[in-house]
Structure 1
Amino acid sequence: MVLLFVLGVILIGAAIALLGMALRPAEEAGGINRSIAVLKAMTEAPQELRGELERPFAERVLEPLRARALRLGRRLTGADSAERIRAKLNLAGNPPGWSVDRVTSGKVLFAGVGLVAGFLFSLMVSETTTTRLLVALGGLVAGFFGPNLYLYQLGYSRGQKLQRELPDAIDLMTICVESGLGFDAAVQQVARNTQGPLSEEFGRMLREMQLGMDRSEALRSLGERTNVADVRSFVSAMVQADTFGIPVAQVLRIQSSEIRVKRRQRAEEKAQQVPVKITVPLIFCILPCLFIAVMGPAVINIMNNFS
C-alpha cells in the first residue's frame, strides 16, 4: 500500500508539472523566438564569422593537434630524422598522403594512443603497479615506432615486387631496342605496357629526364630510391654503357641473362630451406597427431587390461 501511495504521489506531481508547462505558452514562444533569432543572426552574420563557424571539424581540431604533435616530434627526434624518413618514403614508393611532417606528427599521436591503450589493457591483465607501468610504456614505444615499422614493411614488400618484375621488364626493353627503338623509347614502352612499382619508377625516371635531368643522373636517382641489389646492378651497368658508349642491346641482353640466373639461384636456395623450415611444424604439429593415432588404441588397451 505504501508503494502504491508513493507511486500515486509521483504521478500526480508529474501531471501537475506537465500542466504547468502547458500553461506557459508565452515563455515557450519566447524561447522559440530566441532560437529563431539566433539562427537568423548566424545566417546574416558576415562571411568571416560564418566561415569560422562553418569550418569542418578536421580543420578546427585535428589540424592544430597535428601541428602541435609535429613540433613535439621534431624536438624528440634527431636532426637527421627528416632525411631518414624521406629515404624510407622513397623505398616505400611515396604512398599517397604520406609526407615527412605527417609521419613525424603521426609518431607522436600514435605514441599517445598507444600509451592510453596500453594502460587500459594493463588494467585488465594485471593488478600490480609495476606491470601496469611496463605495459603502458610498451604501448607508448610501440605507438611511437609503429609508423617506422609500417614504412619498413611497405618498402620491403615493394622491393620484392621490383625484384620479381625486373627480368620481364629487361626482356621487354631488349626486344624493343633490338627492334630499332632507343633506350628512352624502350623504357617508355615498359612504363606504358606494364603495371607495378617498377613501371612507376621508370615513369618517374622519364619525367625527370623531360624536366632536364641527364640520363645518367636519372638512372642513379632510380638506384637511390630502391634497396634491391638487382636494380642497382642494372642501373650501374646502364650508366657505364651510357658513359663509355657500349651498345645498349648487348648490355641489356647480358643483364637479362645474369638476372635470370640469379632468380634461378634464389629459387633453388628457397627450395633448400624448405626441409629446415618444415622441421618445427613437423615436430610440434604433425608428429603428436601421428603418435596419438598410432599409439592411442594400444595405450587404451593397456590401461583396460591393468584396470
Structure 2
Amino acid sequence: MALVLGLGCLVLAVFLGAAAFVVRPRATAAGSLALIETSYSAAPPATAATAAASPSWLRSIALRLSPSGVAAGLQRRLDLAGNPPTWTPDRVLAAKGLCLLLGGVVGGLLGVGSVGWFVTGFLVVAAFGFFLPDLLLLNAGQKRQTSIRRALPDALDMLTVCVEAGLGFDAALAQVARNTTGPLARECARVLQEMQIGKSRNESLRALTLRTTVPELRAFVSALTQAGELGVPIAAVLREQAREMRLRRRQRAEEMAQKVPVKILFPLIVCLFPAMFVVIIGPGAISIARVLTGL
C-alpha cells in the first residue's frame, strides 16, 4: 500500500512539473533586452510611483510650452546622464512646470514696485526657472561624459593586459566591469548583459556609442568593429588604441595647462590690478592734489 501511494505521489509530481514547464512563458531575447532597457532607463518602483504621483497639470504646462518630441529629447539626455534613479521624463517635465510657476512668483515679488518691473521680473525669472531642469540635466550629462573620457585610457590598458594574458575579449571586458568603478564600468556591464542574452558584440558596442558622446569611445568601437569584420587580432588593435588614448590624454592635459594663463588673466585684472594701482599711484595722486590745491 505504501509503495502504491509513493508511486502515485511520484507520478503526480512529474505531472505537475511538466505542466508548470509547459505553462511557464519562455524568455526571449527581445524580452530580455526590454528588461535590461527598463532596468537601466526607468526608475525603481518607489521612484516611479512618486513620479506618477506628481501633479499632471504641471507636466501639461511644460508640454504646452515645449516643442513636439520633447519627451524623446529628455530621454536621450537622461541616457547621457546615466538615467539617475530619481529622474524620469515625466518628472523632469513636472519640475519644469513647477520651476516656471515658482520663478514667476519670485520675479513678480522682486518687481512689485512698478508694473514694468513686475512684468519684466515675472517673464525673466519664470523663463529661467523653466529652463533650470534642462540645465541641471545637461550638466549631469556633461559630467558623466567627462568621467567616461577620463576613465577610458585606464580601461583600455586593463583590456589590453587581460587580452594579451590569454583572456577573451568578453572575459577581459568583465574584468574591467568588475575591477573598476564609475560610468564606464556600468556601461561595460550593460554591454556584457546584452551580449549574454543574444545580441552580437558589434550591436552591443554600437548601442554603447548611442548612449555616449565621447569621440574617443566611438573611435575605439569603430576600430573593434572593423577588426572583427577584417579578421585582425584584437590584441593588436587594443594595444594601438591604448597607446593612442594615452597620447590623447597627455595632449588634453597639455591643452588644459596652456589655458590656465588665459583663465587667470581676468581675475588678475579685476582683483589684483586695482589694488596695485591704489598702492602705486595713490601717493602720487595725493601729492599732485596737494600741489594743485596749494597753487
Tell me which interval the TM-score lies in, with the shorter structure as reference length: 0.7 to 0.9
Q: Which has the higher contact order (CA 8 A, sep 6+)?
A: 2
- Deviation track 1:70-117 (CA, whole Å, cap 9, x = no partner) reads 344334433311111111001111111211121122211221121112
Please say if 1:83 is aligned against 2:72: yes
After superposition, residues 161-200 of structure 1 pair within 5 angstroms as 161-200=147-186
Q: 2:231 aligns with which of 239, 242, 245?
A: 245
| Alignment correspondent of 2:248 | 262
| Alignment correspondent of 2:126 | 140
- Alpha-carbon distance, 1:293 to partner: 2.5
**Equivalents in 2 of 1:173, 1:300: separation in Å?**
70
**Equivalents in 1 of 2:285, 2:136: separation in Å?**
51
**Equivalents in 1 of 2:54, 2:85: separation in Å?**
21
| Alignment correspondent of 1:108 | 97
- The more displaced of 146-155 and 136-145 is 136-145
Q: 1:277 aligns with which of 248, 257, 263?
A: 263
**Equivalents in 1 of 2:109, 2:198: separation in Å?**
56
| Structure 2 counterpart of 1:246, one-letter code | V
Structure index of larger Rg: 1
- Alpha-carbon distance, 1:169 to partner: 0.6
- Alpha-carbon distance, 1:294 to partner: 2.8
Q: Tell me: CA distance 1:199–1:63, structure 2 relative to 1, closer, same or farther (3 Å).
A: closer
Q: Tell me: CA distance 1:64–1:206, structure 2 relative to 1, closer, same or farther (3 Å).
A: closer
| Structure 1 counterpart of 2:251, one-letter code | Q
| Alignment correspondent of 2:55 | 66
- The more displaced of 287-296 and 200-209 is 287-296
Q: Tell me: CA distance 1:101–1:65, structure 2 relative to 1, closer, same or farther (3 Å).
A: closer
**Equivalents in 2 of 1:181, 1:63: separation in Å?**
46
Gaps of 5+ in 1: 1-58
**Equivalents in 1 of 2:180, 2:172: separation in Å?**
12
Q: Tell me: CA distance 1:65–1:202, structure 2 relative to 1, closer, same or farther (3 Å).
A: closer
**Equivalents in 2 of 1:165, 1:65: separation in Å?**
37
The answer to whether the 8 A contact 2:145-2:212 is kept is: yes
User: The residue matched to 1:95 in structure 2 has which SS?
Assistant: coil
**Equivalents in 2 of 1:161, 1:63: separation in Å?**
31
Identity of aligned residues (%): 45
| Alignment correspondent of 1:12 | none
- Alpha-carbon distance, 1:303 to partner: 4.7
Please say if 1:97 is aligned against 2:83: no
**Equivalents in 2 of 1:108, 1:287: separation in Å?**
45
Q: Tell me: CA distance 1:302–1:70, structure 2 relative to 1, closer, same or farther (3 Å).
A: closer
Gaps of 5+ in 2: 1-48
Count of residues in correspondence between the two structures: 245
- Alpha-carbon distance, 1:257 to partner: 1.1
**Equivalents in 2 of 1:131, 1:72: separation in Å?**
24
**Equivalents in 1 of 2:160, 2:53: separation in Å?**
53
The answer to whether the 8 A contact 2:54-2:94 is kept is: no
**Equivalents in 2 of 1:268, 1:83: separation in Å?**
38
| Alignment correspondent of 2:275 | 289
| Structure 1 counterpart of 2:119, one-letter code | L
- Alpha-carbon distance, 1:220 to partner: 0.6
- Alpha-carbon distance, 1:272 to partner: 2.4
**Equivalents in 2 of 1:265, 1:198: separation in Å?**
21
| Alignment correspondent of 2:27 | none
User: The residue matched to 1:93 in structure 2 has which SS?
Assistant: coil
